[in-house]
Structure 1
Amino acid sequence: MGSWIEVKDSSDFSLQNLPYGVFSTNGTDARIGVAIGDWVLDLKVLAEGGAFDDLEFDLETLKNTTLNAYAGLEKKVHQKVRQRLQKLLEKDTQLGHVLKENKPLHDKAFFPQSGVNMHLPMKIGNYTDFFVGLHHAKTVNTSLISASINQICPCFYNLPIAYNGRASSVVVSGTPFHRPRGQFPVDGEVISGPCRKLDIEVEFAAFIGRGNELGSPIDVNHAEDHIFGFVLLNDWSARDIQMYEATLMGPFNGKSFCTTISPWVVPLEALEPFRVAPKETPRKLPEYLTEKREKSAYDIPIRATLELNSEKYRVADCSTSNVIFSFAQMIAHHTSGGCPLRTGDLIATGTLSGPTREEAGCLLEQTRGGKEPFEMVAEDSSKGSVQRAFCEDNDTIIFAAHAKSNDGLGNVGFGTCQGKVLPAI
């Protein structure tokens, strides 16, 4: 699907993608846009210019400073808008009079991505972090905690395990944060001070579009209708604080200080070419978790990179396919007891590690709990390598996903999910 807007072969923002984001320029308010090539297309300008007048939905939802109102509309509205955008932007468009040949509207609607500021795309009311990564669970529970795979809690295979995270500390890519402080044991004595084992977690996450009423579970086979789109997510983790406090109640301050997401929300339709089945495990699922759709997960590579002094070092190569439950199953289980999800809620997978050390999605796994520092090789091999047990001050960690379809529809990406570690306050 070629466009009259130049889209380089290497670009992640093809007509197959068209992700949503919230952006601003100097001196302007935040507003909704979509990414195409090296440009951001302003949907507020399009809405005011009449590009969607015949689609019969509330155009005011495209004039807000977050995506929430628009995301809460029915899925068929999002599909109509996506199709209209593709028609407006395709190379041989029959709607050239609306945008391509309409110079006043054209000049107002496009902004270079290099000149915009990206914001949190949605107002996040709740954040749930699941634990559905097969290899992550095996490594953490066998190599680092126990000696037998039988030590993995049996419920791991039978239901999507999760904890409720801290929505107020979810930030958009590019936001730096301070190393957290807390309590943790050192040489048999509990101390209070800056975290010494700051970690990353390579994750994939979904934003909820339409929610459900209190007491009304979402059917697993209709759950995807409640997903607005997907982002990359780094669940920064203070392992020493986490391990000390989580023995009785689960994560708290070890996880609440920062969670980074990518700025562009990729719609489900863009990821259709990358569908796969979740990883198989020996189990018999209850009816409420049994899907009719076989390919309900996605195979999207995510690379984690360390940037230091302008050099980049490879940390890990993970995949969104390393899960035993789909987002539909996560949503079905989340609501099975009557819990209401709301527009803007964020649902994450947990760490997406693969079977090898180079595919480990967190330093806890890569370094065997910090005991074996991991060598990270520079992208420019002449620059050598660096070693890390855990993240150090002034480290910048970047996640990026580049999904290339085999049918020529174009690449799909999310923008970078990037955060820098500042010294503790």
Structure 2
Amino acid sequence: MGLFDRLFGKKEEPKIEEVIKEALENLDLSEDTEPDLTEVEEVSQEEAEVEIVEEALLQEEENQETVEESQDSEPTVEVSQEEVEEVPNSEQVSEEENPELLETAEENSSEVLEAETPQVEETVQEKYDRSLKKTRTGFGARLNAFFANFRSVDEEFFEELEELLIMSDVGVQVASNLTEELRYEAKLENAKKPDALRRVIIEKLVELYEKGGNYDETIHFQDGLTVMLFVGVNGVGKTTSIGKLAHRYKQAGKKVMLVAADTFRAGAVAQLAEWGRRVDVPVVTGPEKADPASVVFDGMERAVAEGIDILMIDTAGRLQNKDNLMAELEKIGRIIKRVVPEAPHETFLALDASTGQNALVQAKEFSKITPLTGIVLTKIDGTARGGVVLAIREELNIPVKLIGFGEKIDDIGEFNSENFMKGLLEGLI
């Protein structure tokens, strides 16, 4: 079963109201099934059906009135209190006649409200759905408007669709490939109406990302020390992601250490040190303007000596000085291998999803500077440009392995393509 079938293959169960309505509509009153029915019987049967519907509506109105009465209980209390004062000998029994009972009821109701609204931890899929809401609604609104404007499938339809996809940040290559495949599908299926291609569009987006199911999204943790090198321009959330991951892995029982190798930016060192203090993990730092490779060497030796499970290294992100950055990263790589020959086990590029196609440009440039094993996609919750994941997948074939869902300390996790595609496309078909 493919990814699309796993995500969207099952149909939702019909609502009970729809089942009842369909049953009444399909009720066979023909002469073949009931040949002996007279006109009077037919009329009485119709009246019975009407009575059933009216009773159901009446019951629903009574239930609604009951709910409204319960919601308006406070105003009713005030009126009844006045009535009790005016008519002290009234035989009506109410809570207003017993203030202690009223106070107890109020205390109990507040306790019930507190009990009914506990702080429930979000599931992984709920985090994807929440963080991808802007992307999903933005793309969905454009797609719905697009279909509303076209009554037939012609060349203008495909040109406009390609432009829509590009505006949704799925990338020029993805948009072009998808449009060409849809042209073929339209001819094959002899599709005349745009709505006939709606499901096919979503299916093709899933297939483009799936690429035969070869995701390689798994983080390659080692039995001993796992070394993770983080690169990325300043301001994309790289250091914050490292701090949140440190918290996540420590909560999982791992021994974690951080290395502040962005030594030429004092703010970066201070920020990582603050994260270390906050999540209670050690941070290796060096003197101001120190050689980043020397700080990394100290961190590697300490990690081996102290039996650290996960070592995360924060590096500089001066993309405008590509030659210097390349030389620096190559030197850091040699130092790491001097201590652990097979390290780094992961080299992550942090990308800000809100920058859209600019994130794709950064990914292309960094992939020229150093081999990348995965991407950390940050700030996905505050943007409608989550479609850039599809562009990165199609044009660079670099897997997204980590994703940031928001600002809370636990709003980061390992990327899951099924959760992502479901969160991105749910409700569009």
TM value normalised by structure 2: 0.24
Higher helix fraction (1 or 2): 2
Larger Rg belongs to: 2
TM value normalised by structure 1: 0.24
